[in-house]
Amino acid sequence: MPPLKTGRHDGSKAYALPSRAGTAPGIPKSQSNRDARNGTPLALFNKVRNYRSATQVRAMGLYPYFRTISSAQDTEVIINGKKVLMLGSNSYLGLTNHPKIKEAARAAVAKYGTGCAGSRFLNGSLDIHLELERELARLVNKEAVLLYSTGFQVNLGVISALVGKGEYILADKSNHASIVEGCLLSQGELLRFAHRDMNGLENRLRKLDPADGKLIVADGVFSMEGDIIQLPEVCRLARQYGAAVMVDDAHAIGVLGKHGAGTSQHFGLTDEVDLIMGTFSKSLASLGGFIAADEATIDYLRHHSRSLIFSASMSPANAGAVMAALQIMISEPERIAQLWHNTERMKRGLRSLGFDLGASETPILPVYCRSMVTAFTMCKRLQEEGVFVNPVVSPAVPAGKELIRISLMATHTDSLIDFALDKLGKVGKELGLLS
């Protein structure tokens, strides 16, 4: 099999497979994407006709994506009629199947219906949206919050609205795809620095005019590496060079800080971080996202953020679920404590087996395979052994740093973790990752 087509590693977190010329098997070239007017293949679809990578990986029996789950997202799930331990979920607090949250979603549907049929800007603002915004602002200790339908839309809409011509974005190269796309949609200039390289960040800042508008944006917890941005140093440099700071806390809400308030609270730097972004699809057991800032910034975004203005608003069921999840997260701090207990137990076990976990500091534990085929094979073998994990390959990580990503949940038990370690050790030895 040919090596991955890596392109550029831009932190986009896409799960690309190698590209290769040729028409996909089973699709006669003469019938593929023809112009109905004259029967001539359209040039636009050349890339479609030539894409065979997924088919090739399927033929090897190693295709790891779109696996169908026929149960609730929980510590164990059902795949192909078989119970499998879930170590690939972002449900850090284990709330996705919580009865109180499911009841809150049902109650919201009973009161408001299944959708809003419009954007927040027009007819789609409900009182439950405003209540949730107030509760989130209280959690992260900011003046105001604005809800979006997805976390991806938050980064698209906030960055593109705030950074204009003649202004600059300084971004960690391992930032999530949504940050990358938000930067590309803005009219400002994107300047990237190597992952967690504060000297590189300062070198970028030093070359800019002090009067220029500047936004430093980074994940709080990096979703592939599992490490944490050095927020104290970021804030120091921002003060020195006159930059604003935005932290993407998608993987930090419910994980870091008092009551799971995130990276800024974890470091005691909430007042120095201008924008805090979060999502609901991870610890908060729903779907959607938010941006928190001062009231003036939020009001500006209400009237300039295109992904907010031109998208249907967050559904009532999702908002109701988040409200309930937020209350549970705050009232049951033992969940976060258990998450960290589970993280340390798994981390110790993996390292004692001899796995390379890089610099992970969080419940995201990357097990480095350094080969696409090894990562895909490990994923398949672990599922056969009853453990679900996610493979991560280029361009989500640089070529040569392919990995299996393990994510812990508060609802994992010691016995489940020990079961997983036994299977990981077995498969690691089979594949030559362990001696």
**Both tokens of residue 261?**
């308030």
Confirm whether 258 is domain-assigned.
yes
The helix or strand, by DSSP H or E, that contains position 148, with its residue range, turns out to be: strand 144-148
Do 136 and 240 have their domain in common? yes
Cα 132 to Cα 135, 238, 324, distances in angstroms: 5, 30, 10
Confirm whether 282 is domain-assigned.
yes
Residue 177 maps to which CATH number? 3.40.640.10
Do 219 and 307 have their domain in common? yes
Confirm whether 6 is domain-assigned.
no
Round to whole Å and give the CA distance between 285 and 103.
Answer: 13
pLDDT at 32: 57
- CA 174, 177, 179, 185 dihedral sign is positive
Chain segment 387-413, per-residue pLDDT in tens: 999 999 988 888 999 999 999 999 999
pLDDT of 25 > 90? The answer is no
Closest CA to 179 of 232, 217, 205: 217
Give bridge partners of residue 367 from the DSSP assignment: 404
pLDDT at 396: 85
Closest CA to 92 of 277, 249, 197, 315: 249
Residue 374 maps to which CATH number? 3.90.1150.10
- Report the mean per-residue pLDDT for the chain: 92
Chain segment 184-238, per-residue pLDDT in tens: 999 999 999 999 999 999 999 999 999 999 999 999 999 999 999 999 999 999 9
Do 312 and 422 have their domain in common? no
Q: Read off the pLDDT of each residue in 322-340 and give the average, rounded to a whole number.
A: 98
**Both tokens of residue 257?**
């800080």
Round to whole Å and give the CA distance between 427 and 365.
Answer: 17
Are 291 and 161 in contact by the 8 Å Cβ rule? The answer is no
Chain segment 88-107, per-residue pLDDT in tens: 999 999 999 999 999 999 99
Chain segment 48-87, per-residue pLDDT in tens: 999 998 999 999 999 999 999 999 999 999 999 999 999 9
pLDDT of 350 > 50? The answer is yes
Which residue's structure tokens are 């799960």? Answer: 15
Residue 150, number of CB atoms within 10 A of its CB:
19
Question: Length of the chain in residues, anyone?
Answer: 435
Do 419 and 295 have their domain in common? no
Q: Read off the pLDDT of each residue in 130-139 and give the average, rounded to a whole number.
A: 98
Closest CA to 189 of 213, 167, 173: 167
Do 209 and 247 have their domain in common? yes
Domain that holds residue 249: 99-331
pLDDT of 172 > 90? The answer is yes
Closest CA to 65 of 51, 74, 55: 55
Are 229 and 235 in contact by the 8 Å Cβ rule? The answer is no
pLDDT at 40: 73
Do 279 and 381 have their domain in common? no
pLDDT at 10: 44
Domain boundary residue, one of 280, 299, 331: 331
Largest CA distance in the chain: 66
Which residue's structure tokens are 């419940």? Answer: 363
pLDDT at 380: 97
pLDDT of 18 > 60? The answer is no
Round to whole Å and give the CA distance between 405 and 379.
Answer: 10
pLDDT at 42: 85
Residue 315, number of CB atoms within 10 A of its CB:
23
Confirm whether 47 is domain-assigned.
no
Helix, strand or coil, per DSSP, at residue 318: helix
Q: What angle do CA 355, 359, 360 make, to 5 degrees?
A: 85
| Domains held by the chain: number | 2
Domain boundary residue, one of 331, 366, 396: 331
Alpha helices (runs of H) in 16-150, residue ranges in sequence order = 46-50, 53-59, 99-112, 127-140
pLDDT at 435: 86
pLDDT-derived band at 325 (thresholds 50, 70, 90) equals: very high
Give bridge partners of residue 390 from the DSSP assignment: 405
